[in-house]
Amino acid sequence: MCSGPLNWATRAAKSLNIKPPKTAGAYAAHTRDGVGVAEIEGAAVPERLLITRTTTGGGVSLVSLSGEVDLDGSSQLHEVLLASVESAPGTVVDFGEVGFLDSSGINVLISAHRAAESRGVWFRLAAPRDAVERVLRLVGVDALIPCYPSVEQALTA
């Protein structure tokens, strides 16, 4: 059974107990649960990348990714990461559910890192799978941007 963007977005919204969108396409939804704010960012090809942004009690932004970080979703990821580094004292990007990362994703990470540096806030990567970690090491991103084995370690470092 194929699911279109609206069905995917509706399922994602319901899983976070937020109101689903009325139309397909990119959208943001917010919920306040006493812990923080969650935003779902619908990607250009929603079956390929889900971006969820939450804010911790200390104001740190946690951007969780699921799927493939490639050209189709990189512009939206760029927007979310720049918004995070502009509004939070620190940002952690959770790669735990990412199976693929291409050069457009690498460029987004470097751009967000530079924006964080210029603002004087921190930017960290967390929990990359083996294939993604291999790419990060191959191009030297792991030497530029701190990368941690778990989200918890990235948040407390």
> Cβ of 58: how many Cβ atoms within 10 Å?
10
Average pLDDT over residues 110-123: 98
Share of the chain above pLDDT 70, in %: 70
pLDDT tens across 79-110, in order? 999 999 999 999 999 999 999 999 999 999 99
Q: Cα-flanking dihedrals φ and ψ of residue 94, to 5°?
A: -90, 115
113 touches 82 (CB < 8 A): no
Residue type, 94: D
Residue 18 has pLDDT above 60, yes or no: no
Best CA proximity match to 114, nearest among 150, 152, 144, 72: 144
Average pLDDT over residues 8-28: 44
pLDDT for 37: 45
Only one residue has tokens 């390929």, namely 48
Best CA proximity match to 102, nearest among 79, 73, 125: 73
Q: Collapsing DSSP states into helix, strand and coil, what is residue 77? A: helix
Q: Tell me the pLDDT band of 114, cut-offs 50, 70 and 90.
A: very high
pLDDT for 154: 98
Average pLDDT over residues 108-121: 98
- In DSSP terms, 95 is beta-bridged to none
Residues 6+ apart with CB under 8 A from 7: none
Q: Which of 17-31, 57-71, 136-150 has the lowest mean pLDDT?
A: 17-31
pLDDT for 76: 95
